[in-house]
Amino acid sequence: MEFGRLITAMVTPFDGDGQINWTAAGEMIDYLIGEQQSDSLVVCGTTGESPTLSDDEKLALFRYAVERAAGRCRIIAGTGSNNTAHSIHLTQLAEEAGVDGILLVAPYYNKPSQEGLYQHFAAIAAATSLPVMLYNVQGRTGVNLSVETTLRLAELPNVAATKDCASLEQLTQIITGAPAGFRVYSGDDSSALPALSVGAYGVVSVASHIVGTKMKRMIEAYVGGQVAEAAELHRECYPVFSGLFNCPHPVPNPVAVKYALTLKGMSVGGVRLPLVEATESEKTFISKLV
């Protein structure tokens, strides 16, 4: 399964009552595929506020995204959790819904050992025929999926990729040791180009909601050997890469990107508690990015 190089972790649009805005969700899918040139969309990831979505909402979003995308891009379902049995159940339902792949975040809060992480991911992968992308983000989960465990999982037949937010050193070690065909994606927009330089395949992005076209050009320029052009595009996009997470101080994703999309005329609504909307000073900062 080819996920492409630019994957957007899509926001979940809400209406004024905090319910899913289906019209806006369809418009967002069209916008990300058409205007921002995403190759794949992650639905119900962190950026999609997965912790506050019910299973019924997630499954409805999976079905809707598959139908709306209509083969124009791949749909990757965020089905990971810190409960292996629940993740298996949701993954199997997502497969029935017709998604193209699965994104599995490392279990958070319960801090499993590396063997526990391996057994968790291996059990879910064994329960589906879909390609699996691992997701390592220690800042959110409290545990690092090590190089050794990632490479061990990469040997499983349908573990196809990893989205890793660890250091460039860890990415380099994974890329160096990975079997042929295993794809490494940066999970950090600011590190996308540096990650490409050591052999990463692409990026799972938040900023691509806003500067996806430039990011696609940056990736294509680098892959095509136009390194100076890629570096210039990286520098042009960098204020957005950084600003969506630090405006001017750290803000939880997707607060900033949702407000930025609103400024672009997209009806994505607010965020669900425990997240809260951007402050007036944060809004002023974000408005200078778009």
Please identify every residue annotated as catalytic.
135, 163
Report the alpha-carbon distance of residue 20 to residue 10 in Å, rounded: 13
SS3 content of the chain, % helix, strand, coil (to 5): 50, 15, 40
Phi-psi region of 10 (alpha: psi -120 to 50; beta: other; left: phi over 0): beta
Q: Residue 14 in contact with residue 213, Cβ under 8 Å?
A: no
* Closest CA relative to residue 38, chosen from 2, 59, 9: 9
SS (HEC) of 229-256: HHHHHHHHHHHHHHHCCECCCECCCCHH
The span from the CA of 7 to the CA of 181, in Å, is 17
**258 Cβ contact list (under 8 Å, min separation 6):** 11, 268, 269, 270, 271
DSSP line for 99-166? -SEEEEEPPPSS---HHHHHHHHHHHHHT-SS-EEEEE-HHHHS----HHHHHHHHTSTTEEEEEE-S
Query: If residue 217 lies in a helix (H) or strand (E), which one and from where to where?
Result: helix 208-223
